[in-house]
Amino acid sequence: MVYLLLSIFFTTAVFLTIKEFNRFKIDNLIGIVVSYFTALLIGNFYSGTQISYSYLLDKTWVWGAICISIFFIIVFNLMAVTAQKGGLSVMSVANKMSVVIPISMGVVLYNEALGVTKALGIVMALLGVWFTSKKTGVDQFDKRYWYLPFFIFIGSGIADSILNHMQTLYVPQKELAVFSTSLFLFCGLIGVVVCLIKYLLGSLQFSLKSVIGGLVLGVPNYFSIYFFLKALSQGTYATSLVFSLNNLLVVLLSVFLGVVLYKEKLSQQNYLGIGMSVVAIVLLYFAL
């Protein structure tokens, strides 16, 4: 449970840091790419292993790590476009609802039990995330871009499913730090290619503050994934429970900090979602 709580803390820290990017006029793409390489350096230090390409290519999980990294980059860009075209609520709902995909995979592929209590808890969790994230203006989403949330939903779900599959079958406990570090290496390399293309096209300008923002983001970025993998690898809780609680509590904590730090206002639907989320946590707890 400690690893799960740490993952939730650092994931929320990632969201808050990215939110501050806008206030300091930090370029999102540059900040994210720099954060990947910052996380890579942290991972090398934390794992005690100097990662080389030959070392990674010898690992059975390397191609899975590359696939996950590709989905991470694609989903991030889709989330940015969706936030611009339809708002943060549309993007957030599409991203968080994707938890249903790895939960379903956990039941289907790994024969995890799905009792009435757990099923009801999962449904309540999904409804809770929906109502907590739903805000005024969601229904005004431009119908021409209907496919963006759909691809976010699918992409995030597939990435999380591959992540869980690799951790369950291919990544030994002692290699978790190296595996999570490799994700940042591949994300960083892919991000550099995207940055160079945008720079050559004249649509990207580098700045020192964007680099500094990326350095700050890199710390929670690394530990959010590392501790999430640790939570999955413990075997104390079922995969479906870990995914549900992680997504659920990140949303609740983000909403709370949004109200306290940014004076965001909650609608009746938001309060309904928070109530459903609390009920879901109780149901999932008793489903153990």
Structure confidence at residue 108 (pLDDT):
79
Q: What is the pLDDT along the chain (288 residues), one digit of tens a residue?
A: 799 999 999 988 887 888 788 788 888 889 889 999 998 888 888 766 667 777 788 888 999 999 999 998 888 777 766 665 655 555 666 777 777 777 777 777 777 777 888 788 888 878 877 787 665 554 445 566 667 778 888 898 899 889 888 877 888 878 877 887 888 899 999 999 989 998 899 888 889 999 999 999 999 988 998 898 888 877 777 776 787 788 788 878 877 887 888 776 777 887 888 888 888 877 876 775
Q: Please tell me what DSSP assigns to residue 98.
A: T
User: CA angle, corner 277, sides to 274 and 281, nearest 5?
Assistant: 145
The Cα–Cα gap between 98 and 250 comes to: 14
The Cα–Cα gap between 136 and 217 comes to: 29
Structure confidence at residue 138 (pLDDT):
45
Structure confidence at residue 234 (pLDDT):
77
The answer to whether residues 181 and 40 touch, using CB atoms and an 8 Å cutoff, is yes
Residues 6+ apart with CB under 8 A from 234: 3
The Cα–Cα gap between 188 and 92 comes to: 23
The answer to whether residues 243 and 8 touch, using CB atoms and an 8 Å cutoff, is no
Structure confidence at residue 68 (pLDDT):
94
The Cα–Cα gap between 262 and 247 comes to: 21
Helices and strands: H and E segment counts in the chain: 12, 0
The Cα–Cα gap between 91 and 83 comes to: 6
Query: What are the CA-CA distances from residue 221 to residues 9, 19, 164, 202 (Å)?
Result: 11, 14, 18, 28
Q: At what angle do helices 2-23 and 208-233 cross, to 10 degrees?
A: 160
The answer to whether residues 132 and 258 touch, using CB atoms and an 8 Å cutoff, is no
Query: What are the CA-CA distances from residue 62 to residues 81, 172, 177, 185 (Å)?
Result: 29, 13, 13, 11
The Cα–Cα gap between 115 and 167 comes to: 24
Question: Whole-prediction pTM value?
Answer: 0.79
The Cα–Cα gap between 67 and 64 comes to: 5
Query: What are the CA-CA distances from residue 84 to residues 78, 96, 141, 142, 143 (Å)?
Result: 10, 18, 10, 11, 14
Structure confidence at residue 139 (pLDDT):
44
